[in-house]
Structure 1
Amino acid sequence: MDSKTGPSVGDPTLRRRIKPWEFVAFFNPQELRKETCLLYEIKWRSHKIWRNSNQNTSQHAEINFIEKFTSERHHKPTVQCSITWFLSWSPCWRCSEAIRKFLNQYPNVTLIIFVARLYWHMDQQHRQELRKLVSSGVTIQIMNYPEYHYCWRNFVDYLPGEEDHWPKYPSLWITFYVLELHCIILGLPPCLKISGHHSNQPVLFSLHLQDCHYQRIPYHVLVATGIVQPFVTWR
């Protein structure tokens, strides 16, 4: 791919790429849209890579992917591959259950999930099922700059000369989601409140400092939020 000309016309993934405005609209962590977008990449043992996308329809995007994958005749339970999802929302509890069942059916499939936002993160059922996903071996992380850049280059039909024009959202917003995801995985009560759920209005964060939470969250994450100052040892 030539960064000066954009995605090549001969690129087999071109017809499966989304428009730049779609990527920005779906994956902006500062907005809480109702719709969900899933960008996915499947790496096979043959070193071939499949990339595509889907959105929520009458059912969630995760379920659409699972049904499509399991309906393929050549995708037998013994198939071996690595799947990476880039989701605009983290899975709800029902989708988390469906993902675990899917992986039980396909034990040789590994799944890594990057999310732009946490879906109804204060709901205990959503939190519990996300923890179960992690316990079952699924990697869940918040999308950061490397993931945004990667998605832009590989899933977006950007214009010629715009390879480096991927959206660079404020890092603090990303860090807040990282902080709350740590709380979810560690089984801690929610410490981050987000207003404006499921609207296209700007998101507002408020943190409720509780010492019991922060004693168990990695120090570098706390420093990144600006909540605590780096510890300096004086001689």
Structure 2
Amino acid sequence: MASEQGSSQMDATLGRRIEPRDFVETFNPRALRKETYLLYEIRWTSSKIWRNSNRNTTHHAEVNFIEKHTSEGRIRPRTSCCITWFLSWSPCWECARVIKEFLSQHPKVKLVINAARLFHHTDPQNRQGLRDLVASGVTIKIMGMSEYCYCWEQFVNYLPGEEAFWPRYTPDPMMMFALELQCIILNLPPCLKISNSHQNQPAFFNLTLQNCHYEAFYLLALGLLTVFCRN
């Protein structure tokens, strides 16, 4: 039983899993840690699945992923596959540019990005970079409870009996990041303010809504405005 053997039962990905502490600390939406982790899943049309992870080195995690899998031939220009990323930070504008170029050269690749937090979300270039990705067909979402549970089950080397011990973070930061992501996609001014005195201390979140935010969200609720976030 899985509860007796932890994540090792019938698991070919065991050597590629990250430790529970790394996952809990790095993907906490209220902990603004500098490092970026990328958990990824590649699904080919042949039903083959590959899961692994990487992190920032001299390059950002997203660039490391692209360079690794293109150089090793796992993803070729004619490869048809779906790539799902679980990122502790959303891509910066420079990574967004690299991702766009990668997708233009690999037109049969579908990319879904799940981010725990938005990276420097008030920076105009970062905001435009995310909009450019959405316009290129990338699905971008903020991680919720189901994504944290999935990552724990598929990417974390949890101990025997701890398969259900995935972190239950408070939902407030998730909802606020999700709201800010909609503002970015709709090209609205930032509505989320984040403050913290120390990197390893929980951050404080505050929403500052303007009339344009209320108007846009009202139209979204009525179905009169569409957020182009493809599924």
Q: Same fold (TM over 0.5)?
A: yes
Aligned to 1:111: 111
Deviation at 1:74, TM superposition (A): 5.1
Cα deviation for residue 9 of structure 1 reads: 5.3
Q: Deviations over 1:160-210 (max 9, x none)?
A: 111110001111111010110000000001011111388122111122121
After TM superposition, the runs of 4+ consecutive aligned structure 1 residues lying more than 6 A away are none
Residue 129 of structure 1 corresponds to 129
Displacement, 1:3? 3.6
Aligned-pair CA distance for 1:109: 0.4
Provide the secondary structure at the position in 2 that maps to 1:153: helix
Supply the AA of the counterpart residue of 2:53.
S
Q: What is the Cα deviation at residue 69 of structure 1?
A: 1.2
CA distance in 2, matches of 1:197, 1:84: 33
Q: 1:39 to 1:209 in 2, by over 3 A?
A: same
Counterpart-to-counterpart distance in 2, 1:215 and 1:195: 26
Task: Measure, in 2, the Cα distance between the counterparts of 1:125 and 1:197.
Answer: 25
Question: More deviation in 84-93 or 66-75?
Answer: 66-75
Aligned to 2:227: none
* Contact 1:32–1:197 (CA under 8 A) maintained in structure 2: no
| Percentage of identical aligned residues | 60
State the secondary structure of the residue aligned to 2:8.
coil
Gaps of 5+ in 1: 221-235
**Match for residue 162 of structure 2?**
162
1:100 aligned residue: 100
Greater Cα shift, 114-123 or 69-78: 69-78
Question: CA RMSD, aligned part only?
Answer: 1.6
Aligned length: 220
Give the Cα separation in 2 of the matches to 1:90 and 1:175.
15
Q: 1:229 maps to what in 2?
A: none
Q: Distance in 2 between matches of 1:135 and 1:5?
A: 44
Q: How does 1:22-41 map to 2 (within 5 A)?
A: 22-41=22-41
CA distance, structure 2, for counterparts of residue 176 and residue 201 of structure 1: 18
Aligned counterparts of 1:74 and 1:147: Cα–Cα separation in 2:
25
Separation in 1 of the partners of 2:143 and 2:177? 9
Letter in 2 for 1:115: A
Code of the residue aligned with 1:191 in structure 2: it is: C
SS in 2 for 1:43: strand
Is residue 20 of structure 2 the alignment partner of residue 20 of structure 1?
yes
Corresponding residue of 2:144: 144
- Separation in 1, partners of 2:99, 2:114: 14
Cα distance in 1 between the residues matched to 2:4 and 2:167: 18
Taking structure 1 as the reference length, the TM-score comes to 0.90
- The within-5 A match list for 1:191-206 is 191-196=191-196, 199-206=199-206
CA deviation vs aligned residue, 1:3-30 (integer Å, no higher than 9, x gap) = 4421125521000000100000110001
Partner of 2:171: 171
Residue 155 (structure 1) shift: 0.1
Q: TM-score, normalised by structure 2?
A: 0.91
Please say if 1:77 is aligned against 2:59: no
> Structure 2: where are the runs of 5+ without partners?
223-231
CA contact (8 A) 2:38 2:53 kept: yes
SS for the counterpart of 1:6 is: helix
Shifted more, 4-13 versus 81-90: the winner is 4-13
Partner of 2:5: 5
Match of 1:153 in 2: 153
SS in structure 2 opposite 1:202? coil
Alignment of 1:88 with 2:88, yes or no, is yes
SS at match of 1:31: coil
Please tell me the residue identity of whatever aligns with 2:142: I
